Structures are given as structure tokens and as C-alpha cells.
Structure 1
Amino acid sequence: MNFLETAILLFIGSFLLIYLTIPKIIKVVEYKRLMDDPDHRSSHASKTPTLGGVSFFYTLIFALFFMKSWGSFDEAIYVIPGLTILFIVGLKDDLVVISPGAKLITQVFAIIFILANPSFTIDSLNGFLNIHEIPHYLYLIIAGFMMLTIINSYNLIDGIDGLASVVGIVIMVIYTTIFYLTQEYFFALLAITVNASLMAFLGFNVSSDKKIFMGDTGSLIVGFVISILTLKFLALNPSDYTELPFLLENAPLIAISILIVPLFDTARVFAIRIANKKGPFSPDRNHTHHVLIDYWGLTHKQASFIIGCFNLLFVMLFIVLGSKARNLGMVLMLVSVVVFLGYIFFRYNYSFATLKQKIMLKRKVDKITGKKSESNKNSNPQANQLNGKFKEEEAKVNSTDETVL
């Protein structure tokens, strides 16, 4: 069976497996009452089934059995233990919340299996910032930190309906293309499998009557696969880049552009939390997608679509630049874009307490006035008093936004 036939069968099989089994998972979750209860920072208002990520795990295990012959260094044997570890910790976190420290430790154990495989070894940065050969111990440190960052960054963007799936689909399409062009067919098939899973899951995630979340189980597994694909991308041989539309030394910047959404959002949120003297993993509603929804009034689908399109356009821009520009110019371009985006979203920084107060006050005003004409509003002293208070609080919040960072 050639690559194209295998890819089609894996895509269709993975899609159908997710599509047909998620309704069963929803029924079990509802029957056992394992649903996610909304809290003060949730973007949903009713109890929603979680554990959708369970379907990702068994789909990937089945797929790895059929694609293992396409690997050059028995990669599937090293991927399965890592997937199993993250499946267990993600499942436990969805059922009984565990500490960020415990999650990090288990992620390290999962990453060790990947770093032990010679297929992922990076011996050189191929001239990126004039860096060539790197010692093995430095590779282990950089690769381990990079994988931890990617796993947790992807986990953090799973905050609204469809976002993690849309961003994951964009990333998988790009990596499928890269590994197909470089004839790394095992990794192309791995990306195709995850892509099919995310596409099938997306329909349920944005549904109004059959909604389910992927939970930490799903986001940790998908983030783990993304980190594996990124590491392999950076470990490609120089001869492989003759088929790619960008210069060899620009590979690290292309990888950053592919992951710009989770990396930028995580860096921004961590900076806000630290500036506000909070722990970097403390929960809040300061994520980019929360800003789009709470401040700009977008729906979950609209925010997910906009962020996904931005991710795709950003990658295309850097691929075009990477075909001619040297990495110093691309670094300056990347820094400029990040600083610009950072300014925009820091401008809209807020805390949930002031936002909630602002929303509740506005609802009181709307309820009393009943959306009457301006003349009727002026005849209602209580409405005028609340409206004045609302404007004072809004001005206070806006002034706070401008002074933060």
C-alpha cells in the first residue's frame, strides 16, 4: 500500500472513529455526571460533557499500529508511552483537578521517551543566528524546554468552543505539507490522523445540542503531538530542505510562526499575571480569546475563526519571507509583530472582578430602562443614578487598562 492510499484510509478511519464514538462518550459522561460545571471564568453557562480527548487517545493508538512501518527509527514505540502518560494525567485532571507541578513532572517523563529516540536529535542549528554545531546536553535542555512550552501553551488556549481545534487543524495542515515534501511519511501520517480527529471533534465542540469539550485529556495529547512534529521539523537533515520553500537557517523562525497563537497567548498571559503579582498558572480571563469575546463582543465561532485565519496568514507570510530573507531580518520582523500585538492586547488588559462588576451594572441599567426612548430614560431617576454609576465604573476600568504595563 502506497503513501496516498494509507493517508486516505487513516484520515477516513480516524474521522469516522471519532465521529461515531463521541456520542457514546457524551452519554456515558452525562449518565455518570462527569460534566464540567461552569465557574466564574468559564465561557459556557451550563453543564457540559467533557472527556472528548479520550477519543483522541484510542484513535492515535489504532493509527500508530497501522503507520508504524513508515517510521525509520521505530518512532511509534517511543510515542505510545508518552501518549499513555499524558492520557492518564489528563484524564485525572479532568475528573479530579491536580496541581500544575504534578502535571509538569508527568510531562517531563513523557518527553523523555521522545528525546531517547535518535530520529529527533538536533546536532546543529544550521547557521541560525550564526549558531551551527550544538552539544548533545544542550540539545536535551532546549528540546525538553521547547516541548514543555508547546504542550502547556496549547493546553492554555483551550478556553472557548472551537479554538483549540481550529488552531490545531491549521498547524496539522502545515506540518502534513512539510513532512510530505521532505518524504518523512510517518510524521505526515501522524499529522493527518490528528487533523482528521480534530475535524471530527470540531463539529461536536461547536454544537448546541451535542456539545463536548476535549478537556485536558485532549489538549495534552494534541499538544504532545504538536511538540513531537515541531522537534522533528527542527531535526530534519539539511538535504531535506531542498524541497521546502524557505532557507534552512530560517527553520526555527518558521516553527515559531507555526505556533504563534499558543506561544504569543501564553507569553502575554504569563506577563500579565506576573505583573499583577500572581502565579503564572493562576486562572483568569486575560487570554486573547477572552479579550475578543468580552471586549469586542465576538461569538466563540467568530473568535476561533479569526484567530485560526491569523495563524495561517502569519505562517504564509514567514514562509514567503523565509525564502529570501536571512534570519536576522526575520527575527526583527517577528519581534516587531509580537511587540505590536502585545501593545494591542495589553491595551485591553483587565481583571475579571472589574469586568463582572461592569457587566452586572450594565444589565441593571438595561433592565430598569427597558430599552425605552431617551425621554423615558431621563424620567427615571433610578436609571439615571445607575447609568451615572456605570459610566464612572467604566471610566475607572478604562483608566486602569491604560495604566497596566
Structure 2
Amino acid sequence: MQYLLITVVLFLLELLYFKVADRYNIVDKPNYRSAHTEITLRGGGIIFWFAALLYFGQHLQNNCFFFTGITLVTVVSFWDDIQSLSNKIRISVHFLAISVIFYDLGVFNSVPVLGIVFAYILAIGLINAYNFMDGINGITGLYTLVVMGSLLYVNQNIQVFIDGAFILYAMLANLVFLFFNYRKKAKCFAGDVGSIAIAFWVIYLVLKLILVTNSLVWLLFLAVYGVDAICTILHRLYLKDNIFEAHRLHFYQVLSNEYKIQHRLIAAFYGMVQIIVSVMVLGLYQNVSDFILFGLVIVPLLLIYCVKFYLLHKKYKIVNC
């Protein structure tokens, strides 16, 4: 009953935000990079901050630092959705917010200096990767649902590392967001405020699980997004592109923009592949070494990603015939 009530409250808060966004013209206008063609309300992902607020309001003794961090990234991301900010300002706030949760999780006391540097690079990279990958209807919502579901399974069946309700609140917010976003014509987009806030939530959970189990294997819960984002950056560096400028080279963008595959099918494909990866991780975690498990997951994902180059080559040949 409690979670049903929370879902209703989140649903009403999302509807209230739509009125505010419509009143103040907080919209996403299509450009050459976009996979959509119509003006759509932006910032619907603010629902994730509302979920964090509801959880924090009921558990004042827990997650004070997390709530501070997610509030920082939400504010700067919402501001960026309304009026573009410089990369320096955004990354500086991300760095501060990550520092807050690192302090909360004891990273500065339990991890060597090089490990801390790696953790900062990884966390900021994952936040931006999540933002880069949020480009078509349903992809962020479905993917996050898989990631959160995987973390919830670990928490209930393998290793208790956090209050289960903390994960469930994020999942409920995600379901509400999907109700409005996973459509042929989305009612709203997550915006930076949504993709970055939920990425921050995911990073907090994954990092806490890594520290509790002393294993990096849980990073594979983000393997599909990670491989796509990193390989696309490498591809753009090879092409000598400015990696901070908009582009259309992610695998999902090629499928959507060049081959006109329906957004919801592509989003479902990403979610299904991550489900397969998560099942592999959960099934093999205690049976093979982390190194072998990383190889078993990453190599097939790299092969799938390479299909993108075949599709681009095929499209280029057709266009130029």
C-alpha cells in the first residue's frame, strides 16, 4: 500500500511539473542531432529528484549526503535544460556532488589515491555517458529499470548493501516516467535533469555495492551503455571530431536516424541486452573470476557494437550509388 501511494504521489508531481513546463516553455526543440521531430516537454526526469525527496523525507537519518549530492546535480542540470551552461560549471558541480557521496561512502579513507582518481574519472564519465545515451523514447527509462532491478536482486538474494526501499523509490519514479515517455509520441523527455539525476542514483548504488563486496564486477550492470559510450568517443576521436559537440554516431542513433527503426524497439533492444548481461553476472559471479566475467561480457558487446560500422558502410554505399 505504501508503494502504491508513493507511485500516485509521484504521478501527480509529474503532472504538476508538466503544467509548469508548459507555462514557462521548458521544451525540447528538434535539431539535426535529434531522433524526434516534434517539440516536446523537457525535464520530465525531475521525477527522480522528487522520489529522492520523498525517500529522504521518510528516512531523515539516512542518505543525507546522497540527497545533498543529487540536489546539486539536479539544480545545475535543470538550469542547463533551461539555459545552457558551460561545461566547466556543470563538471565542477558534478565533481562536488561526487565528492559528497565519496565522503559518505568512506571512499577517501578506504581507497588508495590512484583508486580515488580512477573513481572520480569513472563516476563523472558514467554521468556523462548516461546523458549522451538519453536520446530516444524509453531508452533511459527501460535501461535504468533493468539496472535497478539487478541491484535490487543482489540486495535481496546475494548481498544486503542498502535499504531496499531506496532502490524501490527510484524504480517507482522510473515507472512513472516511462508511462509518459515510452510512447510513439512521448509526452516528455528526461532532459539533463533526469538523465544525470538517475545516473547519480545508479552510481551511488553501484559504488556502494563495489565497496561492500570488494568487487568491480558490478560495473557490468552498466556494460551496454558503457561500451556504446566509450566506443563512440573513440570513434569520434579517430574521426578528429570535437567530442563535446552534438553528433549522431551512437549505435542507437544509427539505428534510429539512418535506418528509421522505431524508438521503442531500439530501447527494448538495449534493455534486453542488458538483462542478458545482468543474468550472466548474477549467474557467474561466484563461479568465475572477475577478469574472465568481464571478458565474457565485454567481448560480445564489442562485436555487437561493430555492427554499427557495417550499417554505416552499407548506408554510405547505398547513398552514393
Q: State TM-score, norm by structure 1.
A: 0.73
Match of 1:23 in 2: 15
Q: 1:233 to 1:165 in 2, by over 3 A?
A: same
**Residue 46 in structure 1 maps to residue 9 in structure 2:** no
Query: Once structures 1 and 2 are overlaid, which stretch shifts more, 105-114 or 336-345?
Result: 336-345
| Alignment gaps of 5+ in structure 2 | none
Q: 1:95 to 1:337 in 2, by over 3 A?
A: same
**Residue 110 in structure 1 maps to residue 73 in structure 2:** no
The structural deviation recorded for 1:161 is 0.4
CA contact (8 A) 2:77 2:193 kept: yes
**Residue 194 in structure 1 maps to residue 167 in structure 2:** no
State the secondary structure of the residue aligned to 2:28: coil
CA contact (8 A) 1:147 1:228 kept: no
Q: 1:297 to 1:120 in 2, by over 3 A?
A: same
**Residue 280 in structure 1 maps to residue 243 in structure 2:** yes
In the alignment, the residues of structure 1 paired with residue 30 and residue 259 of structure 2 have an alpha-carbon distance, to the nearest angstrom, of: 22
Match of 2:154 in 1: 178
Q: 1:14 to 1:145 in 2, by over 3 A?
A: farther
The structural deviation recorded for 1:214 is 1.3
CA contact (8 A) 2:227 2:298 kept: no
**Residue 252 in structure 1 maps to residue 228 in structure 2:** no
Match of 2:69 in 1: 82
RMSD: 2.4
CA-to-aligned-CA distance 1:352-405 (integer Å, 9 cap, x gap): xxx8xx8xxxxxxxxxxxxxxxxxxxxxxxxxxxxxxxx87334xxxxxxxxxx
State the secondary structure of the residue aligned to 1:40: coil
CA-to-aligned-CA distance 1:282-335 (integer Å, 9 cap, x gap): 211111211222344321111111110110011112332333222343243234
CA-to-aligned-CA distance 1:214-235 (integer Å, 9 cap, x gap): 1000111100001101100101
CA contact (8 A) 2:40 2:186 kept: no
Q: 1:167 to 1:28 in 2, by over 3 A?
A: same
Match of 2:295 in 1: 332
**Residue 393 in structure 1 maps to residue 319 in structure 2:** yes
Match of 2:282 in 1: 319
The residue correspondences of 1:133-212 to structure 2 (distance < 5 A) are 136-181=112-157, 182-186=159-163, 188-207=164-183, 211-212=187-188
In the alignment, the residues of structure 1 paired with residue 232 and residue 47 of structure 2 have an alpha-carbon distance, to the nearest angstrom, of: 29
The structural deviation recorded for 1:271 is 1.1
In the alignment, the residues of structure 2 paired with residue 138 and residue 184 of structure 1 have an alpha-carbon distance, to the nearest angstrom, of: 25
State the secondary structure of the residue aligned to 1:107: helix
> Which of 202, 207, 216 is residue 231 of structure 1 equivalent to?
207
In the alignment, the residues of structure 1 paired with residue 130 and residue 30 of structure 2 have an alpha-carbon distance, to the nearest angstrom, of: 21
Query: Once structures 1 and 2 are overlaid, which stretch shifts more, 313-322 or 164-173?
Result: 313-322
In the alignment, the residues of structure 2 paired with residue 310 and residue 204 of structure 1 have an alpha-carbon distance, to the nearest angstrom, of: 23
CA contact (8 A) 2:137 2:186 kept: no
The structural deviation recorded for 1:149 is 1.8
In the alignment, the residues of structure 1 paired with residue 39 and residue 105 of structure 2 have an alpha-carbon distance, to the nearest angstrom, of: 45
The one-letter code matched in structure 2 to 1:393 is V
* Larger relative contact order (CA 8 Å, sep ≥ 6): 2
Q: 1:291 to 1:14 in 2, by over 3 A?
A: farther
In the alignment, the residues of structure 2 paired with residue 318 and residue 261 of structure 1 have an alpha-carbon distance, to the nearest angstrom, of: 13
Q: State TM-score, norm by structure 2.
A: 0.91
Query: Once structures 1 and 2 are overlaid, which stretch shifts more, 101-110 or 194-203?
Result: 101-110
Q: 1:14 to 1:153 in 2, by over 3 A?
A: farther
Q: 1:260 to 1:392 in 2, by over 3 A?
A: closer
Give identity over the alignment, percent. Answer: 19
CA contact (8 A) 1:14 1:63 kept: no
The structural deviation recorded for 1:180 is 2.7
CA contact (8 A) 2:45 2:194 kept: yes
| Alignment gaps of 5+ in structure 1 | 1-7, 124-134, 239-250, 359-390, 396-405
CA contact (8 A) 1:270 1:281 kept: no
State the secondary structure of the residue aligned to 1:116: helix
The one-letter code matched in structure 2 to 1:174 is S
CA contact (8 A) 2:221 2:278 kept: yes
State the secondary structure of the residue aligned to 1:117: helix
Computing the radius of gyration over CA atoms, which structure comes out larger, 1 or 2?
1
In the alignment, the residues of structure 1 paired with residue 205 and residue 260 of structure 2 have an alpha-carbon distance, to the nearest angstrom, of: 35
The structural deviation recorded for 1:336 is 2.3
Q: 1:209 to 1:343 in 2, by over 3 A?
A: closer
CA-to-aligned-CA distance 1:222-264 (integer Å, 9 cap, x gap): 00001101100101157xxxxxxxxxxxx313x2321012211
In the alignment, the residues of structure 2 paired with residue 110 and residue 173 of structure 1 have an alpha-carbon distance, to the nearest angstrom, of: 24
The structural deviation recorded for 1:119 is 5.0
CA-to-aligned-CA distance 1:137-161 (integer Å, 9 cap, x gap): 2332222222112211111111000
In the alignment, the residues of structure 1 paired with residue 251 and residue 278 of structure 2 have an alpha-carbon distance, to the nearest angstrom, of: 19
State the secondary structure of the residue aligned to 2:30: coil
Q: 1:345 to 1:30 in 2, by over 3 A?
A: same
